[in-house]
């Protein structure tokens, strides 16, 4: 009996079930049962038969669905195949049929209502199939339609329930062709009902996992044997058999396909990682090329964030960018207005009273009453305000004191008022606006931001000190911050090696990293170096859902990241495969969707940028962070082609002294509107945060103009200061460290040069020893390196993080100091003006010290 069933059932199952369903439908109608019952009961009986046959006579065991498949295909069936057509039918009646009836318009005469029901169904099938055939064929050739139709082709197995897997938009298009025309023609409900019975049961069989044979029906009906080839992963096989119910139009137009000597192999799309859930497939048609390759999908929150960014940038154009453009026509007028505002707001501060702000009504008055200031000049007022004296240097109580290194080794504490912080946030919005204009794709995925801690401690008055960038990160809207990979607590880790390892672990878990922002590119080089030291450690961490140094994390930070340390075996396997193909994995392989890196590109960062570029995907843009320091933000970068930016002329007051003029000892200042293209200037700034005519010891270069305003780019630190990774090492700190070493090791050093070696991210100290009893270079190197870390907190941070390599000491022979002097005099320096510049960049030294190295 079983052999007979297995032999004959594949031939009779389909036609028998269809015939019985039609007979049942007609019988129920003859008994005057409601049309709805008479239609759906035969359909459910047919469905039950198909489901039973899949169990009794399966075509392929591998096509049996998982619970995940059933759950999602059931959602497609209920919402797309049942609910949506009813909704569309209702809308069609309300929007078209009724208005046409009331207007006396009808298409009814164009339909042969006098024919019997079976004949009308046959005509309906032929006409509907013609329109559906061409819609289906175009869906395989038109890229936009294929995105929709790809949802249906995403299945890698066929069984009865996934016949309903269509995107709602494609279902709506189908409704326009195979349902709406017949509603408008006034086709009788009985005809549409019988059509529906055949349409439904044929679809269940067409997608079924049943061993079926159709014989001559393969030349009339779009059968399972034909439709399985249509779902082949090979496009040459899939671009055939477009018929939905009938196959006649494929025969007519040459797309019929049924090989006799083989079976279809792999089903589905070229992209094996195409998202398969109901929710995800609502969005897949809006992701370009996702049917062919693994393109990361945005979740609902990310889609919302992306939309929010578009709205935000639209408003930014009107609220921020256009007013700034307008002000660029008259920079000096705008600057005078800014100066008057700052002076007036702070006239009652102690500093304002001491410098007679009340009587300052012009720039000349300001020059006459307020000399150029350095931190040591402002420090007494800042200290008073820190200790609780109200309005010592700013009328507003500071939100925070930005901490940075000072020339004497004592940290500098710079007030940050609420007004200044509000302007900093506004400046950030302008930068995001330009980044979005330059590369929208950069803001479609996840973001990596690396900043300093928002809070590093508190004064006795309860006011915190830390970083403005950290505060901005911590206080950004929670919805936007959720798109950043790192919680702000990560930046509070004091162990730099531990912090960067955790940053790497959390970032590796993210495939769709599209945007990175960090002040110094050396931070990104450090991350990849850490990965290369022990790649298997991080791959195991991903597979196990852990971080190998979790036990070392402070409790608050452990709580902040524990929900992010999830198991991701797929990502771990992906990295393992990449590591086998590319032993020296770079950003290009780890995060191929990376579109923008925002960081410093000028000054001493240029070398690190050149190294980083070799690591990045080809399409990644490097976006200049702009001239920004702990004291203030000086420029707004507006292009990916230049490091120059628009001065923040609406927020701060700028003064400049030409480089050569300053170095000649003169202090003649010029304003923003008087700068010359290509010239270099020392910059002096007045801010809302209590910096008045503050000498930054930074050199900026004019690189073109926008409207009538010069575009500025950072050139380098001024004399007596160097910075490779942002450490800002001062000449006085170097001198102090060497004096400490002389005392500790009992030697004398009459001549030294400290060189900032940007290429190798380290400092090189050349020492002329007093006698032949030279001190151990390695001991001195370690001692002076530690001393510099104690004198300069930023030097210590950069050393601890590995971004700055350890100081190297080289001994010079006796007589090298005189040789250096003769070299300088030989270049034209007057002997009376000669003095050693003990701290400089290695690239600026044209003295051949190698000839004087002690062997």
pLDDT digits (tens, 9 = 90+) for 604-619: 666 678 788 989 999 9
In the chain, the domains with their CATH numbers are: 65-204+217-286 (no CATH), 311-417+629-717 (no CATH), 418-624 (no CATH), 721-852 (3.30.300)
Which 3 state secondary structure label does DSSP give 495? coil
The helix (run of H) or strand (run of E) holding residue 31 is: none
* 827-854 pLDDT, tens digit each: 765 444 456 778 888 988 888 888 888 8
Answer whether 512's CB lies under 8 Å from 592's CB.
Answer: no
CA distance 250 to 790: 82
95 falls in which pLDDT band (50, 70, 90)?
confident
Look up the pTM and report it.
0.68
Q: For residue 338, give the nearest of 370, 363, 373 by alpha carbon.
A: 363
* 744-777 pLDDT, tens digit each: 888 878 788 999 998 889 999 998 875 544 567 7
Which 3 state secondary structure label does DSSP give 158? coil
* 536-582 pLDDT, tens digit each: 999 999 999 999 999 999 999 999 999 999 998 989 999 999 999 88
State the distance between the two ends of the chain, measured CA to CA, in whole angstroms. 100
CA distance 649 to 666: 25
The confidence score (pLDDT) of residue 604 equals: 61
CA distance 750 to 819: 13
Which 3 state secondary structure label does DSSP give 242? coil
* Matching residue, tokens 């200044």: 420
The helix (run of H) or strand (run of E) holding residue 44 is: helix 35-56
Sign of CA dihedral 83, 89, 95, 99: negative
The confidence score (pLDDT) of residue 301 equals: 63
| Neighbouring C-beta atoms of residue 450, cutoff 10 Å | 23
Q: What angle do CA 378, 382, 384 make, to 5 degrees?
A: 120
Percent of the chain with pLDDT over 90: 63
* 410-426 pLDDT, tens digit each: 788 999 999 999 999 99
CA distance 584 to 535: 10
Average pLDDT estimate for 399-412 = 77
Residues 6+ positions from 660 with CB-CB distance below 8 Å: none
Which 3 state secondary structure label does DSSP give 313? helix
Answer whether 499's CB lies under 8 Å from 579's CB.
Answer: no
E-strand ranges in 417-564 read 446-450, 457-458, 464-466, 513-518
295 Ramachandran zone, left/alpha/beta (phi>0; psi -120 to 50): beta
Residues 6+ positions from 37 with CB-CB distance below 8 Å: 28
Answer whether 283's CB lies under 8 Å from 154's CB.
Answer: no
721 falls in which pLDDT band (50, 70, 90)?
confident
Q: What is the DSSP string of 734-797?
A: HHHHHHHHHHHHT---SEEEEEEETTTTEEEEEEE-SSSSPPPHHHHHHHHHHHHHHH-HHHHH
Residues 6+ positions from 718 with CB-CB distance below 8 Å: 662, 682, 697, 698, 699
Q: For residue 209, give the nearest of 412, 62, 82 by alpha carbon.
A: 62
E-strand ranges in 475-519 read 513-518
Q: Where are the alpha helices (DSSP H) in 591-698?
A: 606-613, 659-663
603 falls in which pLDDT band (50, 70, 90)?
low
Residues 6+ positions from 371 with CB-CB distance below 8 Å: 377, 693
13, pLDDT greater than 50: yes
Higher-pLDDT residue of 765 and 720 is: 765
Look at the chain and count its residues: 855
The confidence score (pLDDT) of residue 832 equals: 45
586, pLDDT greater than 50: yes
Q: Where are the alpha helices (DSSP H) in 441-495?
A: 468-475, 478-481
313, pLDDT greater than 80: no
Higher-pLDDT residue of 222 and 643 is: 222
Average pLDDT estimate for 256-285 = 89
Average pLDDT estimate for 356-371 = 94
Higher-pLDDT residue of 652 and 734 is: 652
CA distance 758 to 604: 6
Give whole-number Cα distances, 271 to 156, 267, 276, 490, 659, in Å.
11, 11, 11, 36, 59
Answer whether 212's CB lies under 8 Å from 245's CB.
Answer: no
* 591-600 pLDDT, tens digit each: 999 999 999 8
2, pLDDT greater than 80: no
Q: For residue 409, give the nearest of 179, 732, 133, 756 by alpha carbon.
A: 732
The confidence score (pLDDT) of residue 190 equals: 93
Answer whether 653's CB lies under 8 Å from 686's CB.
Answer: yes
């Amino acid at each position: 009996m079983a052999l007979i069933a297995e032999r004959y059932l594949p031939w009779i199952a389909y036609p028998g079930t269809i015939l019985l369903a039609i007979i049942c439908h007609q019988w129920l109608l003859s008994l005057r049962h409601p049309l709805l019952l008479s239609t759906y009961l035969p359909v459910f009986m047919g469905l039950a038969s198909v489901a039973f046959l899949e169990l009794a006579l399966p075509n392929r065991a591998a096509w049996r669905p998982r619970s995940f498949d059933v759950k999602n295909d059931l959602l497609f069936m209920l919402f797309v195949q049942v609910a949506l057509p009813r909704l569309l039918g209702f809308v069609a009646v309300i929007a078209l049929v009724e208005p046409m009836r009331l207007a006396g318009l009808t298409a009814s005469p164009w339909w042969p209502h006098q024919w019997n029901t079976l004949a009308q169904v046959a005509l309906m099938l032929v006409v509907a199939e013609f329109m559906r055939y061409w819609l289906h064929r175009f869906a395989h050739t038109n890229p936009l339609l294929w995105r929709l139709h790809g949802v249906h082709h995403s299945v890698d197995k066929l069984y009865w329930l996934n016949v309903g897997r269509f995107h709602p938009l494609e279902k709506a298009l189908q409704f326009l062709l195979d349902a709406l025309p017949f509603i408008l023609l006034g086709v009788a409900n009985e005809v549409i009902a019988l059509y529906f019975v055949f349409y439904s049961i044929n679809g269940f069989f067409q997608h079924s996992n049943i061993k079926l044979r159709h014989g001559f029906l393969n030349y009339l009906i779009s059968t399972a044997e034909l439709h399985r080839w249509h779902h082949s992963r090979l496009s040459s096989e899939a671009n055939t058999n477009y018929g939905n119910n009938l196959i006649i139009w494929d025969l007519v137009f040459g797309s019929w396909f049924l090989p006799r000597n083989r079976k279809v192999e792999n089903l589905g799309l070229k992209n094996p990682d195409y998202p398969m859930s109901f929710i995800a497939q609502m969005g897949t048609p809006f992701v370009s090329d996702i049917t062919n390759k693994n393109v990361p999908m945005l979740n609902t929150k990310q889609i919302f964030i992306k939309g929010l960014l578009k709205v935000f940038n639209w408003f930014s154009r009107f609220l921020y960018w256009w007013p700034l453009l307008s002000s660029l026509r008259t920079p000096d007028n705008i600057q005078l207005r800014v100066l008057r505002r700052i002076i007036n707001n702070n006239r009652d501060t102690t500093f304002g009273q001491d410098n007679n702000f009340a009587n300052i009504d012009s720039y000349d008055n300001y020059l006459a009453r307020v000399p150029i200031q350095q931190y040591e000049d402002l420090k007494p007022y800042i200290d008073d305000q820190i200790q609780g004296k109200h309005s010592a240097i700013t009328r507003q109580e500071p939100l925070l004191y930005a901490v940075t290194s000072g020339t004497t080794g004592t940290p500098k504490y710079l007030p940050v008022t609420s007004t200044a912080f509000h302007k900093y946030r506004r400046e950030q919005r302008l930068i995001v606006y330009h980044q979005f204009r330059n590369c929208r794709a950069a803001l479609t995925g996840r973001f990596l931001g690396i900043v300093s801690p928002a809070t590093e401690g508190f004064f006795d008055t309860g006011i915190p000190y830390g970083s403005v960038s950290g505060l901005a990160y911590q206080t950004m809207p929670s919805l936007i911050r959720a798109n950043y990979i790192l919680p702000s607590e990560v930046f509070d880790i004091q162990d730099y090696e531990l912090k960067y390892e955790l940053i790497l672990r959390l970032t590796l878990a993210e495939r769709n990293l599209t945007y990175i922002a960090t002040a110094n590119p050396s931070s990104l080089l450090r991350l990849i170096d850490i990965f290369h030291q022990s790649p298997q450690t991080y791959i195991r961490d991903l597979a196990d859902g852990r971080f190998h140094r979790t036990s070392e994390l402070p409790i608050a930070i452990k709580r902040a990241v524990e929900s992010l340390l999830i198991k991701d075996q797929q990502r771990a396997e992906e990295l393992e495969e990449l590591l086998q193909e590319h032993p020296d994995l770079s950003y290009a392989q780890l995060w191929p969707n990376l579109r923008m890196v925002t960081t410093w590109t000028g000054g001493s960062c240029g070398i690190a940028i050149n190294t980083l570029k070799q690591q990045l995907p080809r399409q990644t843009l490097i976006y200049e962070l702009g001239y920004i320091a702990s004291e203030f933000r000086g420029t707004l970068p507006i292009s990916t082609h230049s490091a120059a930016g628009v001065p923040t002329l609406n927020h701060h007051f700028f003064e400049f002294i030409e480089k050569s003029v300053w170095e000649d000892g003169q202090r003649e200042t010029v304003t923003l509107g008087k700068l010359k293209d290509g010239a270099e200037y020392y910059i002096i700034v007045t801010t809302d945060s209590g910096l008045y005519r503050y000498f930054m010891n930074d050199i900026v270069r004019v690189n073109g103009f926008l409207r009538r305003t010069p575009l500025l780019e950072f050139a380098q630190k001024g004399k007596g200061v160097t910075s490779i990774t942002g450490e800002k090492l001062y000449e006085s700190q170097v001198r102090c460290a060497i004096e400490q070493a002389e005392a500790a090791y009992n030697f004398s050093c009459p001549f030294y040069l400290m060189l900032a070696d940007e290429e190798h991210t380290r400092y090189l100290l050349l020492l002329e020893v007093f006698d032949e009893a030279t001190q151990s270079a390695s001991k001195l190197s370690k001692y002076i390196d530690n001393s510099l870390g104690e004198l300069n907190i930023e030097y210590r941070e950069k050393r601890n993080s590995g971004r700055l390599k350890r100081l190297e000491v080289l001994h010079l022979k006796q007589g090298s100091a005189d040789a250096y002097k003769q070299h300088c005099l030989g270049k034209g320096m007057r002997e009376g003006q000669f003095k050693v510049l003990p701290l400089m960049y290695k690239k600026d030294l044209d003295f051949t010290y190698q000839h004087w190295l002690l062997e």
